[in-house]
Amino acid sequence: MRRPEPLKAGDTIRIIAPAGRLNPADLEFSMKIFAGWGLSVELGRNMFKSGNMFSAADAERLTDLQDAIDDKNVKAIICGRGGYGTNRIIDKVDFSTFELMPKWLVGFSDITVLHSHIQRNFGIETIHGPMGKTINTESTEESIESLRRVLFGESVQIKINGDAGNIPGRAKGILTGGNLSILYSLIGTPSEPDWEGRILFIEEIGEYHYHFDRMLVAMKRAGIFTKVQGLIVGHLTNMKDPEPGMQRMLSETILEHVSEFGFPVVFNFPAGHEKDNRALVIGRELDMVVGEKDVELIFFEDEEIAEQGFSLRRMVIAGIVMVGFFVVLWVIYSMVLKKYL
């Protein structure tokens, strides 16, 4: 997977709204946060035009996304919010500039469409994390700081307390996932994630328990759980189960469908539609260690950087060997020369 360049003070970022509607006041707090990081903040031209559930018409939202991708001065794209609508425009986006010059894209919920599409088709890392509207006075410091660390290229390591429902174990793989409803809707499309060898992250909000179960059944029938190496379950927020309902915990429903596959499972991970929404790097390889008392996620260094480092070491070693070889030749030559002179 390719990694966008880290941000630095003075860089320009742009907030856009590829899905649900926004008001300018929704972004006041986050814009102050970004400015405090030394960033210059721009807004998409069309993001406040809505008169319905979308931030603007499909064509206008597409224009804002395309402009943010193509503008060489914009070093990161921050989505203002989720909601619904990204899947209506994804097939018309031209990612050719993005592929040549990757930049960070940040968001969650409906933005899962972009995460999955970019990872599947272009192999570029993105950030599942807080957005313009969700960075607010109620956000935890850990949530906001986790986003800053990823954007500015600092190490990413998250350690949390264990949960009684966890399945202990250790797994390594590239992180994929996001909102479960969106992932479910992407099955069979050009934006469906590559599940093979992945660690799957899911979160959800406002769904009926039976529909949550339906989505997991569909993923199981599609063979997805035979391919993944581990499961991280984030916030399951405001879920509904009217009488008579499923009459059990959501964690029990999850375990019913995945426990037979033998991979480690983490519950109550702080990511999703709640105040503590830690930034996760979609597309980056991680080491997932699930113990009895705690859980640790350690994101690996970029494979290309590691390979570059390995190649550099090989060049240095080869250089040393060559110098040594010529030193030996010179010593032999000097000894022979002295003998015959």
Among candidate residues 30, 50, 55, 109, the one labeled active-site is: 109
Compute how many other C-beta atoms are within 10 angstroms of the C-beta atom of residue 234. 28
Among candidate residues 125, 146, 181, 203, the one labeled active-site is: 203
Backbone angles phi, psi at 223, to 5 degrees: 80, 15
User: What residues contact 227, with CB distance under 8 A and at least 6 apart?
Assistant: 195, 196, 197, 198
Among candidate residues 115, 273, 274, 285, the one labeled active-site is: 273
203 given a catalytic annotation? yes
Exposed / middle / buried, residue 310 (Cβ in 10 Å: 0-12, 13-18, 19+): exposed
Exposed / middle / buried, residue 37 (Cβ in 10 Å: 0-12, 13-18, 19+): middle
Exposed / middle / buried, residue 67 (Cβ in 10 Å: 0-12, 13-18, 19+): middle
Nearest to 138 by CA among 273, 235, 280: 273
109 given a catalytic annotation? yes
Nearest to 238 by CA among 253, 255, 250, 256: 250
Residues annotated as catalytic are: 109, 203, 273
